[in-house]
Structure 1
Amino acid sequence: MAFNSNNILIQNISGADLRTFHVGFDFGKYRNEEFAEKLMDTIVDFAFGFHTGILKQYDRRKLKEAAKSIYKVKGFNEVKKIYLDDNSEIFDCELKIEDKYLKRGEFGEMILHLILRDNFESLPLLSKIHFKDTDSAVVHGFDIIHIGTDPGNPNKQTLFLGESKVYSRKDNRAGENGIDDLIEDIEFHFKKDFLLREIALIGKKKNAFDTIDDYTDLNTKEEYQEFLNKKKHWFDIFEDVENGNKKLQEFFDSVTIPLICTYQSKIFEGVTDETNQSFLDAYAAEVQILKARFDEKLKGFGIDSGEPVKTNLNIILILFPIPSKKQLISALHLKLTAQQNA
């Protein structure tokens, strides 16, 4: 594992199309701080990907640089001010900032990054934070672009195109609203014109990596060469699709779509032990209801001639209930702010 988050994150369901996670308790207290610390371990990997090499170890300067780069994303500072300056509970429906920063934000992407790295053994192919920091260019519409082994076929390589949502709702419908927004993402992002534009944008970053000749870390040089070989494989495919030498339908045979909904849930109220059977029963019931909602809405898509069939997409729904979005996001902002000012 890249970050050993299985010490914090408990995986309840590990199915072909559904994964569920939650964080447990220690002496009756929810392990919010521990999970936030684990996410902080990912910030260099998340912000810079492998564009400048495989960074298994990095100094304080690199951590500071990564933290600053995340806060250069539009809207992120505005969200930080609300979460750190307002002591009351905060619900997404009450806030005025542009919705996409409230429902997703880079912390939602960071959670998905962590889960993919540790549970799917993926590698980050592109980091939008890196490019936003270096050339201010829009890189891609997907929250995460990773590469790795197909979860359903260990002999097959896959491209992970991920989407993330982080939700809170006063009416306890955070999970339902997150599911509905993920369905909207599928409808918007998995259309032929959008995908071809994204593939073209991704393809332009083909040379945005250190060459092996410029690579100085002898401890990871062999590993980095292996990554470059995998990177070349995928960029060759992007080029073939863009040039019309490979059908988009064939491309999709090698695509996995992880969709994560991190949402505030009332199942944690009054709970001090994640092994409590009533909690486990409530947890299982809630995630199955959300999965059924997702499946039903996915079946509602029509079949448009020449477009990807939505129900045939290789989707993995990841559900991650939390007791308080405000407590988690506030802890992350505090830690990230401290890191960039270190």
Structure 2
Amino acid sequence: MRPSFFNIIIHKDDTFPDLHGVCAGFESRQWRKDQLVDYLFEYLPEFALTYSEFKNLTGENVVAKMRQVVMSIYQSEKFKNRGEFGELLLHAIIRETYKTIPAISKIYYKDGPNEPVKGFDAVHVVVTDDTLELWLGEVKFYNNISQAISHVIEELNQHVNVTYVRNEFIAITNKIDDKWPHADRLKTLLHHHTSLDDVFSNTCIPVLLTYDSTTLAKYDNKCDEYVREISEEFQKFHKVFCDKLGEFPLTIHLFLFPLNTKAELINSLESKLKIWQNL
């Protein structure tokens, strides 16, 4: 079993929403940017393929499928404003921290390689014997935390609108792979005959906000001072988020992820993507 990649600097579950302060960590006196890129690309097949395609990966078709995966993300040079990398980061974080199971691949159903994918940024589930908990993710892959908070709260308020939710459930249902083991349970949960009260009682929203961190930029190792200062930063931004959000009917898990910097990280992601596109 592989060890966890992310460093959970702070986890406060006695608040609503709860708080996960997450960092990529350091290695050889540098923020682990390149290691983070490599780690995220390990999730690309699961992130971008349908359940059936992912399960049918073999030694004979894996190179062709990986080429399909990276080509499906996008080929545009206007990558700096695109959200796929943020969605991939959210996918990896909730898979690792809560052992969620991806329900659909949004990337697989893109209309074209340069078309953005609308709707929830992740559709995962957590399965128990009694319930199927629905995880509908939101990401703001930003360099500015104030803008990230403001914009995500606008979307969160939209996502509890009955008409919006019903339309999204139709879109999700149409994308569920029938061979996925939990397909029937999720289709039943999302069916229009099922009361939204019952759906929402088994739904949570993981929210991932990234930002360029002045605290992270000051350090090159996980010393006590860094942990103390970045924890204070996390709690400050968590309070701003909670104050702006106010009352909200669904459970929210807030993940804050500091970057050093978004521009450098996205350039590394883009360079890796281009290499894989030429496999």
Instruction: Give yes or no for TM over 0.5.
Output: yes
Deviation at 1:136, TM superposition (A): 11
Q: TM-score, normalised by structure 1?
A: 0.73
Q: TM-score, normalised by structure 2?
A: 0.89
Aligned positions of 1:9-28 closer than 5 A: 9-16=6-13, 17-28=18-29
Aligned AA (2:86):
G
Q: Which residue of 2 aligns with 1:262?
A: 210
How many residues align? The count is 273
Q: Distance in 2 between matches of 1:258 and 1:41?
A: 21
Aligned positions of 1:1-342 closer than 5 A: 4=2, 6=4, 8-16=5-13, 17-54=18-55, 59-71=62-74, 77-80=76-79, 101-102=81-82, 105-132=83-110, 141-149=119-127, 156-168=131-143, 174-206=144-176, 208-209=177-178, 211=179, 227-228=180-181, 230-239=182-191, 242=192, 245-274=193-222, 276-299=223-246, 311-342=248-279
Aligned AA (1:78):
E
The answer on whether the counterparts of 2:140 and 2:210 sit within 8 Å (CA) in structure 1 is yes
Deviation track 1:199-221 (CA, whole Å, cap 9, x = no partner) reads 12222234x44x4xxxxxxxxxx
The answer on whether the counterparts of 2:203 and 2:251 sit within 8 Å (CA) in structure 1 is yes
The percent of aligned pairs where both chains have the same amino acid is 27
Q: Distance in 2 between matches of 1:281 and 1:138?
A: 38
Unpaired runs of 5+ residues, structure 1, are 84-100, 169-173, 212-226, 300-309
Deviation track 1:110-136 (CA, whole Å, cap 9, x = no partner) reads 000001111111111111111116899
The answer on whether the counterparts of 1:298 and 1:311 sit within 8 Å (CA) in structure 2 is yes
Deviation track 1:283-320 (CA, whole Å, cap 9, x = no partner) reads 01111011101111111xxxxxxxxxx52311100001
TM-aligned CA distance change 1:180 to 1:55, over 3 Å: farther
Q: Which has the larger radius of gyration?
A: 1
The answer on whether the counterparts of 2:212 and 2:259 sit within 8 Å (CA) in structure 1 is yes
Deviation at 1:68, TM superposition (A): 0.2
Q: Give the secondary structure class of the aligned counterpart of 2:78.
A: helix
Aligned AA (1:18):
L
Q: Give the secondary structure class of the aligned counterpart of 1:126.
A: coil
TM-aligned CA distance change 1:266 to 1:139, over 3 Å: closer
Unpaired runs of 5+ residues, structure 2, are none
Aligned AA (2:146):
E
Moved more, 159-168 or 135-144: 135-144
TM-aligned CA distance change 1:203 to 1:143, over 3 Å: same
The answer on whether the counterparts of 2:19 and 2:255 sit within 8 Å (CA) in structure 1 is yes
- Give the CA RMSD over aligned residues: 2.5
Q: Give the secondary structure class of the aligned counterpart of 1:109.
A: helix
The answer on whether the counterparts of 1:140 and 1:201 sit within 8 Å (CA) in structure 2 is no
Q: Give the secondary structure class of the aligned counterpart of 2:188.
A: helix
Q: Distance in 2 between matches of 1:279 and 1:325?
A: 19
TM-aligned CA distance change 1:44 to 1:113, over 3 Å: same
Q: Distance in 2 between matches of 1:266 and 1:138?
A: 30
The answer on whether the counterparts of 1:69 and 1:133 sit within 8 Å (CA) in structure 2 is no
